[in-house]
Each structure stands twice: as C-alpha cells, then as structure tokens.
Structure 1
C-alpha cells in the first residue's frame, strides 16, 4: 500500500473474521460527579456505561431502568430502545431509526443518513475527565463526538453489521462512549478509560500517561475504528499500481486506484473521512509525466513551505501553497533514466464528507525544535471550489463545508495543554471543552475569520449536507 502522503503514517494491517463476536459489558464501578465526591469515592452500580465513570443518576427510576438495561447483557446499540419506558433509556429511543431508514444509507453517501430529530437538542454536552495527561485525547474525542451523522451509526447499532470480532475493541468502546455521552446530564463529566485502553491495543505508543500529540492520537483512533469495521473479508495481495494512462483519462485512472484501495480497506470511517489526492510529476527535460492517486484522511499544512517563517496567514493561503506547483531540482525520471529537474503538483481529486486540517505548529530541526505560534485566520463557512478546479470527480460538486470542531494547543513544544471548541450537531451551539469543564461560547466573538488565533492545531469541517 502506498504511504499516506498527508500524514506519513501507514494504516495497520487488518485481520477480518466472517462473524461478529458480541461481548458482555464489564461491570465497572460508577464514579460520583466532581461536585459530590473526592477522587477516592466510588459506588457500585450495574449501569452499563460505568467504565466511563458517569456521574450519579438523578432519580431512583433512572437507576432502576439502567440496571434493567444492563441485565440484558447487550451493547447499548443492540437494545430496542423503543421498548424502554423511562429514565436514561428513553432518550436513547429518540435516536433509533427504522430498518427502512437505515437501508437507504449507501457507502460514501453519509449525507443520506442525517439525524433530523431535534429531540436530542440538549444531549451530548459532556466533559471528559483528565485521567493523567490525557487532554490530547479528550480534545480530539470532543471534536469527533460532535461530527454530524457519523456517530448515529454507533448509537443505533448500524456499525455492528461490519464489526469483526478480532479487532472489535475500539469500535465497541467508541459506541459505548457515544451512548454514555448522550445519556449523561449536560455539563457533567465522565472518565474515558475504556476508549483509551482500546486505542492502546492498536497504538501501543499511547500506553501510560505521558504527554502525547493530538494529531497522532486522531490518526490512531480512526485507524482503530476502521480496522475493526473493515468490510473486506478477503484482502487481495498488494500490487503496484500502473501510472501510465495508455489512452485512458485521469478519471479512469482515479477510479482504478480508488477501487483498488477500497478492495483492501472499506469501512464506515472511510465513508466519511477519506478523500483522494492526485500527485503528478512532469520532467522539465523530456516532458514525461507520471501520476499517483493516494487516499488521505487529514491534510497537514506547513508554515515553512514557500512562506517567510514569521508570517501570520489564513487557511486559504495555506491551502493555496499546498496545491501550488513546485520545482524539484533532483528527481529521477523513468524516461531519461537519470535525475532531472521536475515540476511536482498536488491536486485534491476527491473530497471527503469530513475535512480535517492539521496545522503543523511543531517545527523539528536537527539541532533545535520549537512551536510556531503564528496566528491563523480560518472561516466558519468554507468553500473548497477553487482548490479542486482541476478535478473531474463527482464528489467535488459538493464543496460547501461548515466548521464543526477545533483542537487548540496552548503552551510550548515541551509542555502545553489541549482544549476543544466544538459545535453541537443538534442545537448548533458552540461549546468549549477543557477536560471536565464545559461552557457555551459565541463562536463569532472569537473572530477566527478576521483576527485569527495562534492556538488552532486541528480544524474539522463537515459538509453542510450532513446537518
């Protein structure tokens, strides 16, 4: 498989089983909320999501309903929510879709799977406790948990049809986290132990409680979800793709590479987050051209490419410089059979439903490293039209996106803190998540589109059609 040009991370190998193995939820202790207890206090409970340390249930009827819910020994998404009568399970039933609704969902068309019900307008506004230098994880999760449409697949059990038993830990823990968040009283907090442990299995580098990078965790989390939900049961052997057009169009070549990629990995995660990039190189001596179509999930934008290092800038300029043609003085030409000067260009060929921009603030050099605190301006509404003008793919006809999440970093390369600004997909209000603390903010007063900020590290944009 060709290396991901955007993140320089290869996806892990996938092992698929034909049948889904269902697991029984552990009975972990239920933690009291922070206003009622000290860190050492805990109570025993049969609440099914107690591995996340949910705050105390408000009423006796809610406690009884939760216990009955757990006794069915199923995952939250496997329950028929509409059979529940009260308490926490009542709110779960509001998101249940009928089989006919689910059947209309086709691969790579998540906008058909919109959650239009406004019954949940007050749900999902929940903090995540810092369980030991885990602000990097909490900030990423808060943005992902508020991505429109995507999380409904985990809440109602749609993801289970693709689940493979050997790699099920990350999808199952994420499903439990989504359900817990939706059923925790607003502005309280939970402890995300389960999802951290699951990601550690896929990415052992996240074991322990050292400071980590938020973008690397995002890649690991999405890899773990995609690995456990890969629809491919028999992966074909790897082969080198032919970049010679031989009378074919670029659109034909794009489809061939895209279909091959899907033949090896095809998941719910990729339906939402995967796009395609054209990498073209033209020799300045013989004019020979070569092409490569690579998939991507997040786009890394660097300050140092074609910029003065001290400049502040905006997202449009960063994207302009990313796709601009550049000259490389020493590149091997397969036709000339020697190194020549070439022109290289990136073209965004297929747009994903969720765009993620990683702003490379950490500058690593041979003798010194530092954080780049440049202010970046970015819009609340993003039109990608001018960045995909060379593409002929149908996905580029829908280029209108809305900002839905920001992972912020404050501090230095050697010590800092992550927070998140995220838009609730139901009430369309913005909230600032600082671990356990959650408060509503006026996103327009932040003046991100006019004054910019030196804090944004990852930007999440969702297609408007998902709302």
Structure 2
C-alpha cells in the first residue's frame, strides 16, 4: 500500500478541473491502493471558502458547489480559445468544455393550468438534480410512526410531479386577460390555478437528492431516518412530460436508468455524522463500499439496504447511438 500525498499547490492559479483530472488519473491507474486527495482539498478550500476546514459539511451542498465551479471554470476557459483554431476543433472544444452540463443537465416542464378557462402555460427550466421531499406522514408524525410506514423512491418521485393547487385566486391567466388592453384601467383578472412539474428532458446521469434534513421547532435541522426503498433499475417514464405533436412515442429504453452510486449520511443530525458511498465498478461489474480509506467489495443486496441520501442513476445506452431522451 502506497499513500499519494501531493504537495500543496504553489501556483497562484488554482484549477479545480486540473485537480479533478489528476485525481481521477491516479485513482484509475491501478498503481496505488490508497489515494489522499490533498491537492484537491486545498483547491476546494481556496475556491469555495464555505467548505474550508474540517467541520461537518453537507455532501449535497458540496457537490452542487463543486460542479458549479467546475462548469464555470470550463466556460471561462472556452472564452480563451484562439480564433485561429479550425471550426471543427472549436466544436469539439465546446463539447469538452460543457461536460458537466452534458452529463448532469436536464430540463423540467413547469405547467400552470387556469381553472377558469383551462389554458395551460408552460415554462421549461434547467435542473442538475432533483431534490425529493418525503411524504407528509414523515413530517408531522412521531418517529415510531415513520418506522411503521415504508417509503418508496417512486412515491417520492410521484410527489415531486403531482399536481399542486395554488392557494386562492392569485394567477393572472394570459388567456383570461387577452382582451384586456396593456394600459387599461380595468383590474387584472386573477383566477384559481394548479401547477405541475414534470421532467421534460432527461440527463445522462440522474442525481436524486432525498431531503432527509428538516427544520424542527427547536430551530435546528433534524434527520428523517426512515429507509427509502429503491431499485437497481428505475423507469422515469411516469414522471416525464408528453409531446402531443410527436407522431411516435419515445423508445422505452430512453426512460430506463441503472443505479450507479449511493451516498449515505451516518448520524442523527445535520451538523454531525459521517458520509460513505456505494459505487458500482463498471469494468469489474461489482459494487464497492467506500468508507474513507476502507474499500470493501459488497453485494447489490447490501447496497439496496442502504439509507440513501443521494442516488445516482445512469441512463442506459439506447440502440439509436446512445442519444438521451
């Protein structure tokens, strides 16, 4: 066993992309049994001050910040591409520089329906992960009740995409107000409406964040410790929008996702505990439990018993050149 301990970066220009690239190269080289990402950690401390030091931090918040910083760094690099680079190579550079968006970027369809005229207003919004709420029974009941009622990942996805009634007559419908002049003295017509979120475009890697931490009456965040059942294969079709203008329905494999990683939080509260992860090795075809410097091969049954905090699902490669939904 050999420990990799890179020296603290001496350059004034710190690059998260470079440190990630170097770290992945070392990890996948197969030369070392243990890797200490000191240079990567130092770069994070410098570029994301909120995560500086050794205090407990949230894995979901860190991942969001890290990916955002990496994508911004890549975009800034793209602006420095010399004008002399041939168009074909420039396109390739743009594809490489948008790798974070290519992998994690999806789209949500936010649809608001006016209950007075049934007019539907659609807005497409980007997303890089889906944060899923627990059912209401886990927010208003005691711990003993939560342990009695199992929770399914599909139930949480259904809750995310369920139709929600907007409270009161607060919606200014474009259709109902279409005959009203822009500068008319007549009041804007407000109606009752309902809203629904659906997945409009699926990413290559779907990241699902289970919102286990809630604010309690004592002004601190406590953990919802119930087990959430999830499967190796996830069908996202029930949670996606439909295109009525399309002559043929999308191929079923475009909705199929396979479990690739599970992040767990061990502990009772938000400000304490420990994170471990289960990762699927695609080359070897086996699962590994990662706990700091300890790595153990495990079964998929053990993975499915995990108390998941973040789930990663990878889209199956479809037969039509692997294009995403």
Alpha carbons of structure 1 residues 350 and 406: separation in structure 2 relative to 1, 3 Å: same
What is the correspondence of 1:192-341 to structure 2 with a 5 Å cutoff? 192-230=37-75, 233=79, 267-304=98-135, 309=140, 310=146, 311-330=149-168, 331-335=170-174, 337=188, 340-341=191-192
Superposed CA RMSD in Å reads 3.3
With 384-393 and 396-405 compared, the bigger mean Cα shift is at 384-393
What is the DSSP-based 3-state SS (H/G/I as helix, E as strand, rest coil) of the residue aligned with 1:465? coil
Cα deviation per residue 1:438-464 (whole Å; 9 max; x = unaligned)? 1100113x272xxx54x2100001122
C-alpha distance in structure 1 between counterparts of 2:251 and 2:125, whole Å: 16
Secondary structure of residue in 1 paired with 2:166: strand
TM-score normalised per structure 2: 0.75
2:105–2:127 CA contact under 8 A, matched in 1: yes
SS in 1 for 2:79: coil
Bigger mean CA offset, 433-442 vs 188-197: 188-197
Q: CA deviation at 1:196?
A: 2.0
Contact 2:254 2:316 in 1 (8 A): no
Q: Conserved in 2, the CA contact under 8 Å of 1:349 and 1:396?
A: no
Q: For the residues of structure 2 that align with 1:357 and 1:269, how far apart are their CA atoms?
A: 16
Distance 2:158 2:23 in 1: 38
Deviation track 1:67-110 (CA, whole Å, cap 9, x = no partner) reads xxxxxxxxxxxxxxxxxxxxxxxxxxxxxxxxxxxxxxxxxxxx
Alignment of 1:44-193 (within 5 A): 50-51=5-6, 169-185=15-31, 188-193=33-38
User: Does the 8 Å contact 1:357/1:458 carry over to 2?
Assistant: yes
The whole-number CA distance in structure 2 between the counterparts of 1:305 and 1:232 is: 45
* Larger strand share, 1 or 2: 2
Question: What's the offset of the Cα at 1:183?
Answer: 2.5
- Bigger mean CA deviation after superposition, 428-437 or 303-312: 303-312
Q: Paired residue for 1:438, among 272, 277, 295?
A: 295
Give the aligned partner of residue 75 of structure 1: none
**What secondary structure, in the 3-state scheme, does the structure 1 residue paired with 2:6 have?**
helix
Query: Normalised by the size of structure 1, how large is the TM-score?
Result: 0.53
Which of residues 343, 362, 372 in structure 1 aligns to 2:213? 362
Q: Within 2, Cα distance between the matches of 1:348 and 1:167?
A: 39
> Which deviations, in whole Å up to 9, do the C-alpha atoms of 1:18-72 show, x marking residues without a partner?
xxxxxxxxxxxxx954xxxxxxxxxxxxxxx75289xxxxxxxxxxxxxxxxxxx
Distance across 2 between alignment mates of 1:341 and 1:356: 33
Q: CA separation in 1, counterparts of 2:196 and 2:267?
A: 35
Match of 1:3 in 2: none
Partners of 2:106 and 2:126 within 8 A in 1: yes
Give the match's secondary structure for 1:300. Answer: strand
Q: Which runs of 5+ in 1 are unaligned?
A: 1-30, 34-48, 54-165, 235-262
One of 179, 196, 201 as aligned partner of 1:345: 196
Structure 1 268/168 Cα, relative in aligned 2: closer, same or farther at 3 Å?
Answer: farther
Equivalent position of 2:278 in the other structure:
421
Q: Which runs of 5+ in 2 are unaligned?
A: 81-93, 141-145, 178-187
